[in-house]
Structure 1
């Protein structure tokens, strides 16, 4: 199966630049994975598709304000750093722009010297290991100096950092938001629970690897970067109970999907566990846990549109995307949503 099989035309003006004031007022395209039939709704109407005993799986990861703008010691040249993964207490794997200015030994100052970083190694794909020195608590300094790591297709400045967090974000560690969850409000979640739907919280810290473009022609040659996940006992019990009772597991976002599919045994059962996953889901994959998926509209030729195609069929998904373009849906991180049932 080739990368080009997942291409579609998208007018640039349909890429959402700003979040809506009311999270749950975004549009919702519902796709029947068997028939390919689509219908159009408002996101808060999703409650009509959830029934008592179903289990809604959400990813409660929290995005780090991981984008830092600093100055190179000696020349004051501007250097931008994106924190990717904590390697040790004060050493982080980072993406640095421009990389050529960040040789081993380079020192970078942030926020008038509140934070200093030194490049200690160059690793896979040119990423830099940076050792930070500071006084106090790193996360508090990061909250003060860091910006949200918005994707490059969003060019507008984000007024409120919390709009790139889900309302249930709890465990800090992601370089990007699990964006399907951005549509939920506390009121909507309460309404869903009152309908007898279990909500299971899992954690997958989203790395930029999830969003890296597929560059190889044959998709099976693409390598996914590893991401850390965790499932506690309570979440495992809720998900297993839904499966045992013949009810549905509905994952909010591709990250929740990849978490449960990575952790499940061959019979689709889960237990409390944590680990690293490089799972790559594309057409031909047999889902062990997931029945339905709530997701956003994804980039052409991305691993994410491949995952949705594994669930609903490539032709159905591309036809639904074509319909979404025609109906002027908003695309990508701050855009509208799709429910695959």
Structure 2
């Protein structure tokens, strides 16, 4: 596909999703969820515990090991008005590990609820950290197009990570229509989460347990990890009639040289755990293409939303990863830090995977568009089957393993 802006009517990706089909809470155990299995021809009902039997020795699962932060903070004005501050991402380009170890003050891009009630005064909130009183302050710095830059400051020798844990709440998805509860602290994280930075969970990974991961290893199914910090934009609906006019959000990711070597050695057998892992994998490919074409990946510049669609060349995944590996080794880099705005829709040619593990997504969402790019119009039958067979939808819902035959042939 070579046209820069594919014209796709979003109305083609609509279906009726009754509220009772949306899972408001997680199941008692992570791996009790159902698993819809699509092999390119047939749709079968499985359980998530069947996953190891559906994959092959030599397959590589790619996990997103990001960790959800307690990004929602409530401040109370002297008038009694409640101001909700939702931390989106750091205001500067420092890496996330450094940001969360910052002490004293830090600037973040935020969405503010009840903003009209917040005048120019500095908001204050009293915290209790290890039985020590700490004052957290929030001051407005700059109005951006879709967010506010807020300077947080606090007393005491505490990191911003400790401040968030003491003052914030896990930001569960808005479509759950409920407040964050104790269960969400644990269950809205994957068991392999490591690096703080997301404001939404990579939900395909919520079904995995240590037991299933061990069973996969015993069968010879390999795994590697990438980190993409999921932004609030993942919930942003497509409000334009034509997908070409939708503005995709930016998300930051990290990939180690070791992980890229793992990907290269498993090409043709890669299973992406979730849409966030897939967006990262495809973005790695396009950074490799930049190196082939321009001699530099320009990591400071995100993979643009429509960048892949204007490329005439058809480099193999192996060529792209080789270019990336050579660049990192030449520059003595053990990992890369980059970002992406990539949108995967329509006839986009997925380069890196043979299959995808993913939950069931909202109508007219970019996540559903991504699924359709993988399985084509068959998404309609898959979703119809899920609705008719009592699958639970969205973040705390059931899962699917999609292994379209076209991907297996393409990646041989």
Deviation of 1:239 (Å): 1.1
Deviation at 1:76? 3.0
In structure 2, the partner of 1:329 is: 391
Question: Which residue of structure 2 aligns with residue 4 of structure 1?
Answer: 11
1:256 corresponds to 2:280 = no
Q: Is the 8 A contact 1:3 1:301 kept in 2?
A: yes
Tell me if 1:130 matches 2:150: yes
Could you tell me how far apart the structure 2 residues matched to 1:183 and 1:4 are? 31
Give 1:86's match in structure 2, choosing from 75, 90, 93. 90
- The residue that corresponds to 1:288 in the other structure is 351
Structure 1's unaligned 5+ residue stretches are none
CA distance in 1, matches of 2:13, 2:54: 28
1:185-200 alignment to 2 at 5 Å? Answer: 185-200=209-224
The CA deviation at 1:211 is: 1.8
Give distance in 2, aligned partners of 1:186 and 1:6: 36
Q: Distance in 1 between matches of 2:174 and 2:21?
A: 15
Runs of 4+ in 1 over 4 A off after TM superposition: none
The residue matched to 1:24 in structure 2 has which SS? helix
User: How far apart in 1 are the matches of 2:125 and 2:358?
Assistant: 36
Aligned with 1:77 (options 74, 81, 85)? 81
Q: Deviations over 1:239-281 (max 9, x none)?
A: 11011xxx41000000000001001133214345320100000
Q: CA deviation at 1:149?
A: 0.4
Q: CA deviation at 1:237?
A: 1.3
1:226-265 equivalences under 5 Å are 226-243=250-267, 247-264=268-285, 265=288
Partner of residue 226 from structure 2, selected from 192, 202, 205:
202
Give a deviation string over 1:2-33, Cα, whole Å, max 9, x none: 1111101111011101111210110001123x
Given candidates 16, 21, 38, the residue that maps to 2:23 is 16
When the two chains are superposed, the root-mean-square deviation of aligned CA atoms in Å is: 1.4
Alpha-carbon offset, residue 202 of structure 1: 0.3
SS in 1 for 2:182: coil
* 1:198 Cα deviation after fit: 1.4
Q: Does 1:41 align with 2:40?
A: no
Distance (Å, rounded) in 2 between the aligned partners of 1:309 and 1:233: 31
Alpha-carbon separation, structure 1, partners of 2:274 and 2:126 = 35
Alpha-carbon distance in 2 for matches of 1:111, 1:219 = 45
Alignment size in residue pairs: 332
Contact 1:18 1:158 (8 Å CA) reproduced: no
User: C-alpha displacement at 1:118, in angstroms?
Assistant: 0.6
Q: Does 1:309 align with 2:372?
A: yes
1:121 matched residue in structure 2: 142
The residue number in structure 2 matching 1:159 is 182
Matched, 1:55 2:60: yes
Hey, what's the Cα distance between the residues in 1 that align with 2:381 and 2:71?
36
Q: Which residues of structure 2 form unaligned runs of 5+?
A: 1-7, 93-98, 100-105, 128-133, 289-314, 326-334, 404-412
CA distance in 2, matches of 1:99, 1:194: 53
SS of 1:8 mapped into structure 2: coil
Per the alignment, in what secondary structure is the counterpart of residue 162 of structure 2? Answer: helix
TM-score under structure 2 length normalisation: 0.78
1:115-158 per-residue CA deviation (whole Å, 9 max, x = no partner) reads 11011111022x11110011221111211221110111113443
- Is 1:98 the equivalent of 2:87? no
CA distance, structure 1, for counterparts of residue 368 and residue 260 of structure 2: 27
CA distance in 1, matches of 2:388, 2:281: 33
Match of 2:340 among 277, 284, 292: 277
8 Å Cα contact 1:16-1:332 kept in structure 2: yes
Among 317, 339, 344, the alignment partner of 1:268 is 317
| Inter-partner Cα distance in structure 1 for 2:143 and 2:38 | 45
- Structure 2 CA distance, aligned partners of 1:132 and 1:273? 28
Partner of 2:306: none
Which residue number in structure 2 is paired with residue 147 of structure 1?
169
Select which of 226, 231, 235 maps to 1:211: 235
